[in-house]
Chain A
Amino acid sequence: MTFRDAAVRDFPPFSTDACIKCNVCNTACPVARVTDAFPGPKYVGPQAQRFRGPGIGSHAPDHTVDWCSGCGICTRACPAGVLIAETNSRARATIVAERGSSLRNRLISDTDLLIRLGVPLAPLANFGLRNRFARWVGEKVLDVHRRGPLAPFARRTFTAWWRRRGGATTLPATPDPARTVVYFHGCAANGFEPDLGRDAVEILKRNGFTVIVPRQECCGLPFISNGLYDHARRKASTNLASLVDFARAGYRIVGTSTSCTHAIKAEYREMLDLADEDARVVADATWDICELLLDLHDRGELDTDFAALDEPLPYHAPCQLRSHGIGTPAMDLFALVPGLRAADSEHDCCGAAGTYGLKVERWQIAQDVGAPLFAKVRAAAADGATRAACDSETCRWQIEQSSGVPTVHPITILAESYRAASRAT
């Protein structure tokens, strides 16, 4: 019944005719709020869209659309159901297809490559990431801001750990889709935060699930954000091919990165034109891990033996999580942990937006977007918080770097509480 029906989600620019030019998206845009370079989602979106298309040529009034960070807040603000951010992402991809992309954008989007290079060389690579001279060189040569939030590489990937312990990677001989889940670790839990992957597996097992970790690549979101749709489609196709048999057999696919899971749920279809039956089956089977745990709880099936964690915890719901339309499940789960005093940041965007906040010409914008959030996290730290929580990795790294307060995934908090409960018994 809404404008956001199936046809529109398959091709978001269709929705732009529903725009009533009310400016609400412009009031909600965190980027337009802090920079004059971006005229706001209305102008580059529904208004500019009519000047785009076959035969209009490569000089469409489009270049400012590239200042969009892709946070998706405009789409959610729109009362008319216009898929603004999705339309703008496609416009950016058209520009990139016509005019090409920088080496920088291709490199920072290719997280699989970065992990393949960085993890074996972790001591050296991490020295470089911490070294001010190396970062200065990186800024001059690659246009990656010297203070852009880059997480250190893990010494060993999650998948290496999984293989070594003989973890399942294929469909089980005896199907049990009710008590088995497929884990989509994403690049963060694989190459940068493998402890998060291990915590996720531990929590899922504690709640009676067998975990399978099939072959997977980067979800492709960094490529989507940089307009490199062909690269993103290759990643997406690989993942869909790997995941579709599980989805068809009724297995749920659960991820610890709300960005990756949102890409699989929505962006494969809305941006990459992957709207075939396989993509739909996989999207329907995909869950954010907190969403899944809360669903268990709604059914009375979650292990609620949480030990007390007596601490204040500032929590930031990332833009990508909010685009899931699943509420803020981490906050509901935190409420189950005795003593844990989680407080929602009530701030819209941290500014990082994946790779946006790394780029030398956008770093300041990203900092300005997130500044009120960083101030809130710092204030919470002054009031006794020792860490913050956030569901998406680049947001975590941005908050941690810019506030100085360690920032973890909600799963890390829950796993700690579970472990403390196990020790107590």
Chain B
Amino acid sequence: MPRVDVAVIGAGLAGLTCAAELAERGASVFLAAKGMATTHWTHGGLDVGVAPDASTPREAARRLAAIAGHPYAALADDLEPAVTGHLERCAAAGLDYAGTLDAPLVPVPTAIGSLRPAAILPLAQAAALEPWGDDGLLLVGFRRYRDFWPAYAARNLEAGEWSGGPRRIAGVEVTLPGLEGLRNLNGQSLARLFDGATWRTAALRAIAAAIPAGTWRIGLPAVLGLLDHAQAHADAERILGARAFEIASLPPSVPGLRLFEALRGTIARAGGRIQIGFDVVSVERDGSRVAAIHTEAASRTLRIAADAFVLATGGIAGTGFRAGHDGTIRERVFGLAVTAPPRERWLAEWPLEPQPLEEAGIRTDANLVPAELENVRVIGTALAGMRYLDQRCGDGVALASAHRAAASLADVARAEVVA
């Protein structure tokens, strides 16, 4: 395979974003991943961070940056251009967002009727960010669709604390046309039905007919179209005569699929290549530099030679690391050292508490270069020092680190061209 400027390993938000930005900056890019990554499981919004007393994502990131060793400490200047770049990139691919780093973090409902803080969401989810005023919340589920139960979610929301929330919460289940004979109904198959304008109109009319009297904002499962999603959401608000917002439910996450496709398409249009399905099996090193990686293949291996390599393979949960029986943790591709708490402190007493092991990761310099290898950059949740589930900072760190890596590597490529 011809040599490329940069090989990116990993196809999550960090890897896709870094590959997209590098390709946009004119670098030749090859993205290799052992499989699809977390975009398909997540809600599609941008979690930049939460922290006590922080009312916006920017404030939260600043508070998190004050924690010793947190990735944000080194990425303070990157967050703003990274988020702006991401929102512009997605918008250019037809996926618009609402919210900014300075928008208030407000509680939005989840599919099980809990609340999560959000400030930056895809447009189709954004009506949940607006002040509720006198609006009631009507959750609408679809008969035979098993991944969203409006009455259950409504009951949980009623029972919970929701300051500034709607005055009334109700759930209703609607029978959509033509689903009776279907055996395999999931978010994705519903979204494909919503891509068709004729069925969509009929379905939205059926929903409109089920809305009780009163002023409601409508919460729907996130299934309003995969390809034609912007129009589907606009049609929903028009036909329902109300603000409507999507709520992500169980995988397959339709908002995540839209995000993946927006970034994949951006990379392809900018001339980058993507190969998904083959793990890195060996690395050619030249002193403190990586000369090439080899990915598994049906026979032999594929040699990918590049000037620089971006490691975006995730942390413990993303299978970027492997723990040994002796309690050591190594990074899987390059064998980089992983900073982690001692084994006896890996796990908290209860599963839903913040887990110390989450902080395991790779320490880098300010340019995200690990100590062992000078032409490698580490981005995303492989970085040490954060608890991205608890701190809700995974997307922000992914974007900021991807931006930092792309900017530093594009500078290197340009300098070489000039030289």
Contact = CB atoms under 8 A, between A and B. Distances in A.
Contacts of B184: 32, 36, 38-40, 43
A3 B275 CA distance: 18
B1 A344 contact: no
B297 A324 contact: yes
B317 to A, nearest CB: 11
Contacts of B186: 23, 26
A265 B298 contact: yes
Contact of A76 (B182, B277, B300, B322): B277
Given A2-B279, A344-B268, A24 B273 contact: no
Which of B181, B250, B252, B300 has the largest count of A CB atoms less than 10 A from its CB?
A: B300
A297 B1 CA distance: 9
A367 to B, nearest CB: 16
B35 A324 contact: no
A75 interface: yes
B273 A28 contact: no
Interface in A250-308: 262, 265-266, 283-284, 286-287, 294, 297-298
A131 interface: no
Which of B40, B192, B275, B302 has the largest count of A CB atoms less than 10 A from its CB?
A: B40
Contacts of B298: 262, 265-266, 283, 323-326
Nearest to A331: B273
Contacts of A265: 298-299
Interface string A369-400: 00000000000000000000000000000000
Contacts of A344: 268
B257 interface: yes
Contacts of B302: 325-327
Nearest to A283: B299
Contacts of B188: 26-27, 33
B325 interface: no
A367 B1 CA distance: 33
A1 B330 CA distance: 12
A36 B189 contact: yes
Contacts of A32: 184, 189
Interface residues on B, range: 35 or more
Contacts of B265: 346
Contact of B277 (A27, A75, A332): A75
A36 B265 CA distance: 27
Contacts of B276: 76-77
B408 interface: no
A89 B183 CA distance: 22
B273 A79 contact: no
A344 B269 CA distance: 10
A322 B273 CA distance: 13
A324 B295 CA distance: 11
B189 A28 contact: no
Contacts of A26: 186, 188, 252
Contacts of A326: 1, 297-298, 302
A298 B322 CA distance: 34
A329 B1 CA distance: 7
A23 B189 CA distance: 13
B148 to A, nearest CB: 15
B210 interface: no
B34 A79 contact: yes
Contacts, number: 119
Contact of A332 (B1, B250, B278, B299): B1
A78 interface: yes
Given A39-B183, A327-B273, A1 B34 contact: no
A297 B252 CA distance: 41
Contacts of B50: none
Contacts of B30: 327
B251 A22 contact: yes
Interface string B27-61: 00010001111001100000000000000000000
B84 interface: no
B37 A79 contact: yes
A202 B412 CA distance: 43
Contact of B275 (A22, A78, A327): A327
Nearest to B279: A2
A169 interface: no
Nearest to B35: A79
Given A324-B297, A325-B296, A328-B273, A22 B40 contact: yes
A39 to B, nearest CB: 5
A283 B265 CA distance: 34
Contacts of B295: 325
Contacts of A23: 40-41, 186, 250-252
B392 to A, nearest CB: 21
Which of A26, A286, A297 has the largest count of B CB atoms less than 10 A from its CB?
A: A26
A326 B303 CA distance: 9
A71 B139 CA distance: 39
A26 B37 CA distance: 14
Given A2-B279, A36-B183, A77 B35 contact: yes
Interface string B1-43: 1100000000000000000000000000010001111001100
A341 interface: no
A420 interface: no
A27 to B, nearest CB: 4
The 6 tightest CB contacts between A and B, nearest first, are A76-B277, A79-B35, A325-B297, A265-B298, A23-B251, A266-B298
Given A33-B188, A287-B299, A327-B30, 9 more contacts: A22-B251, A24-B35, A24-B252, A26-B252, A28-B36, A32-B184, A38-B184, A75-B277, A266-B298
Interface of A: 1-2, 4, 22-24, 26-28, 32-33, 36, 38-40, 43, 75-81, 262, 265-266, 283-284, 286-287, 294, 297-298, 322-329, 332, 344, 346
25 contacts: A2-B34, A4-B296, A23-B252, A27-B257, A28-B36, A33-B188, A33-B192, A75-B277, A76-B276, A79-B35, A79-B319, A81-B34, A81-B35, A262-B298, A283-B298, A294-B2, A322-B275, A324-B298, A324-B299, A325-B277, A325-B297, A325-B298, A326-B1, A326-B297, A326-B302
